[in-house]
Each structure stands twice: as C-alpha cells, then as structure tokens.
Structure 1
Amino acid sequence: MTSPAQRFLNQQDRQHIIEAVQEAERKTSGEIVPLVADMSDQYPAAEFNGAMVLGMLTAIASAWLLGLETIWLFLPVFCLTYVVFFLLVRTLPALKRFFVPGQVLNHAVSQAAINAFHVHGLHRTRDMTGILIYISVFEHKVHVLADKGINDRVPPQTWNEIVGIITDGIRRGEQGKAIAKAVTRCGELLSVNFPIRADDTDELPNLIVEGDENQ
C-alpha cells in the first residue's frame, strides 16, 4: 500500500523534480533537497478531542430529538459514539486535521523539518550549503530550511517566495511542476553567492519521498 507521500508525486513529477535539481546544482555549490513527508506528527490529542466533541454533540442531539433529557440516555450514547468517532478521526486525515490548531500544525512541521535536515545529512555538506524543501502532505504545509553557510548571506524571508511557489502549485494540483519551479528559483538565488566550484560533487539525494525504498 502506497503512502500519502508516495501518491503525492507521480513518476513524471519525480523525474521532472530530479532534473530540475540536477540543472540547478550545475550553477551552484549549494545542495538542494526536496523532501515529501506523509505527516509531521501523529497528533494523538486530535483523536481524543475530536471524539469528545463529536460524541458529546451526538449524545446531546439524540437526547433532544427523543425528548429524553436524562443522563441514562446521554451516557450510553456518548460512550458508544466516542469510540466510533475516535476511530474515524484516527483513520480520516481530513477529519483529524480539523481538530488540530493551526499553530500546532506549524510547530510540528517546523520541528519535523529540522529533524529531517539532520537525519538526511544536510548539515554535513562541505561548505554548509544544504537547503531542504520540506513538504508535509497531511498538514498541507511547506517549510524551507537552509544551513549556516547560506543563512549567513541569504535573509530567511527570502524562502517565503519558495514556499509560495509550491503552495500555489499544490492548490492547482500541479505540485510536481511547482516543486521543480521552486528548485529552479532556489538555484538562481544560490548561484549569486554560491557559484559552482570546479571540484563540486553531488553530496545529497536529489529527491526524498517518505516511504520509498532505500531512503
């Protein structure tokens, strides 16, 4: 069974992105790595909160419709529907996301991007010029993270443009084209301060998709 990250990009999208990374890295010593993740956190609290809210609303509505405003109806209905809604929230991403506050989503994506940056070795490039384009499917969020060598010369707000390119493309259902376009733009930005070196090597993967083999 394929994961959400694997379904996010078809084979043509992947090839297009890889070619965009290869072309961008011909002009810069920077290392650009797009990474697509299923989700940045499991958000267990969303399951409890969703089941609690939906279970209580269902129990209250049932008591009102039946004209039996008694705890002996409310409790059995609540307990039964709590279990049902708990499982529904756990298995339906769209419903689960509804019970996760925006600031929690943003924090989880930011932390997951930092973790991925280190797990995949972007902090170990020769000139500290690794840049991660982190896309988390469940949250519908994009986070760009650059290493110290880049951050010393490129203002952090520069990456807002890259995030915008990808999120706009995702809304149009053209995520593959959008990521490739964002990679090309990263290459243009990096080539100004980090031109290609004669002894430059490709140090990192050109695309990482969570769930793929050998990644």
Structure 2
Amino acid sequence: MKLFPPPAVAEDAQQSPLGADALQRIAAAVAAAEAKTSAEIRVVVAREPLIQHPFYSVMYAALAALVLPWILVLLTPMRPMQLLGIQAAMFMVFAGVLMLPSIAQKVIPRLALKAAARSAAVEMFLAHGIPQAKGRSGILIFAASQEHLIEVVADEGVHTPLGHGAWRDICERVADQAKKGSLAEGLIAGVHKAGDLLAGPLPSKPGERNELANHVIIM
C-alpha cells in the first residue's frame, strides 16, 4: 500500500478522478505492458469514498459528550438530570459537526481507511474474474482517489515468483507520479512497471489471447 497527496486540480469537470483521455492512455499502457508478458493486468479506480457510513463521527461525538461534561461536574455542583441534558446537547452538536461531509472523512482513522482499501481491492479482484486468468497470473492495481491510497492484489501464479517487493515497487511508482498531481500518469507508470516485472517470470508467448479487458474500471 502507498499513500499519495491529492492533486491540486480535478482532472475533469465532473470531478471524476480521471478524464476520458486519461482512461484511454491507461488502457493503452495496459495493452503495451501485456504485450511483454503472459500475465493479465487490470486497473480499478474508486471514485467515491470507501467508508461512507457515519460510525466514526458518531463514536467521537459520543465519547466527547460522555467525557467533557464531567469537567463541569468537578467545577460546579450539578444534578444528574442536568448532566444528562448537557451530555445530550453536546452529543447532538458534536455529531452534527463531525457528520458534515468536509469533516466526516477526516475523522476516519488511517488504519481503517487502509483496511477498507485492501478489502475493496480484493473484492474487485474477485468480482472481475481475475482469478480465472490462465495460470492464475492476474494482478489488479487499485487506486482509492478520495483516500489517496494504492493497493496491488496479485494471484498466486505471479506472487510466487515475484513476491511482495514487486507489488511495493508498483505502488511506489504510482505514488511517485501521483505526488506530482496526476493520478493518471501514476497509474500509467505503475502499469509499465508491472509489465517489466511480469515479463521476467512470465514472458509473452506467441498466439496468446487477451483474457481480460484493458479498460479502467471506475467504481
């Protein structure tokens, strides 16, 4: 997994992480990379937040409402009903603020986001039939554009000869370009890196057909 900062400007008017031209260039990069190897490469980009429920906003609001009023209890005598009223009011205020869209995503712990990115990548890996590739030789490059996270999921046919280091290299290649403000260029660089790495243990063979589509999946 690799982190990258958000680009300074959205890449198209619809606030999609990738425009039509970028999608075409990534698909072309996949075709070029697969020309070097018998493995299959898929690219998935998550446009929406991976965690959309308000669990963490509500949790932090509840903790604040539970703990903070006791400071007043230490300073001022207070009846139980008064304390409960203050706690209820504080919970409503904190929950309302923390559930604002601009704030809700910022209170989600980074570990939870990383776990959600990994789970989503594995789900897409399975949902799009990558394990059905011949020789279990498929990989998926997953980018969570809202969370700025990169994941690579590899099947056993390519993971066994290459190992975790190869997937870290791909993630780093994507993140290095994305840090400069272009997720599209990062994904293209990551795809080319994947093709170079996969060509070693799984070189292209004459007459092989493309088992999986090259286009980018937007979720």
When the two structures are superposed, what TM-score results if normalisation uses the length of structure 1?
A: 0.78
SS at match of 1:159: helix
Equivalent residue number for residue 176 of structure 2: 168
2:34 equivalent in structure 1: 25
Runs of 4+ in 1 over 4 A off after TM superposition: 53-61, 67-78
Structure-2 change in CA distance of 1:41 and 1:124 (3 Å) = farther
Aligned-partner SS, 2:114: helix
Instruction: Tell me the equivalent position of 1:213.
Output: none
Query: 2:17 aligned to 1, 8, 29, which one?
Result: 8
For residues 172 and 78 of structure 1, the distance between their equivalents in structure 2, rounded to whole angstroms, comes to 46
Following the alignment from structure 1 to structure 2, what is the Cα–Cα distance between the partners of residues 88 and 204?
Answer: 45
Change (3 A) 1:169 1:58: farther
Deviation at 1:198, TM superposition (A): 1.9
Listed as ranges, the matches of 1:1-215 within 5 Å are 7-37=16-46, 38-42=48-52, 44-52=54-62, 75-76=84-85, 78-80=87-89, 82-92=91-101, 95-206=103-214, 207-210=216-219
Measure, in 1, the Cα distance between the counterparts of 2:203 and 2:36: 6
The range that moved more, 76-85 or 113-122, is 76-85
Write the distance in 2 (CA, Å) between the matches of 1:58 and 1:172: 42
Match of 2:4 in 1: none
2:136 aligned counterpart, secondary structure: coil
5+ residue gaps in structure 1? 211-215
Gaps of 5+ in 2: 1-13
Partner amino acid for 2:58?
F
Cα distance in 1 for partners of 2:100, 2:27 equals: 32
SS at match of 2:200: helix
Tell me, in whole angstroms, the C-alpha distance in 2 between the residues paired with 1:197 and 1:89: 55
Alpha-carbon RMSD: 2.9
Preserved contact between residue 65 and residue 87 of structure 2 (Cα < 8 Å): yes
Look up the SS of the partner of 1:7 in the other structure: coil
Shift in Å, 1:58: 8.7
In 2: Cα distance, 1:6 partner to 1:204 partner: 27
1:43-82 residue CA offsets vs partner (Å, 9 max, x unmatched): 5431222333566799799x7xxx9885777655653453
Contact 2:54 2:104 in 1 (8 A): no
Q: Distance in 2 between matches of 1:58 and 1:205?
A: 55
**Count of residue pairs the alignment pairs up:** 202
Is the Cα–Cα contact under 8 Å of residues 6 and 209 in structure 1 kept in the other structure?
A: no
**Offset of 1:84 from its aligned partner?**
5.0
Q: Distance in 1 between matches of 2:182 and 2:65?
A: 38
* Residue 25 of structure 1: how far off its partner (Å): 1.1
After superposition, what is the alpha-carbon deviation per residue over 1:125-174, rounded to whole angstroms, capped at 9, x for unaligned?
Answer: 01211000011223321111111110121121211111112223333221
CA separation of 1:9/1:43 partners in 2, compared to 1, >3 Å: closer, same or farther? same
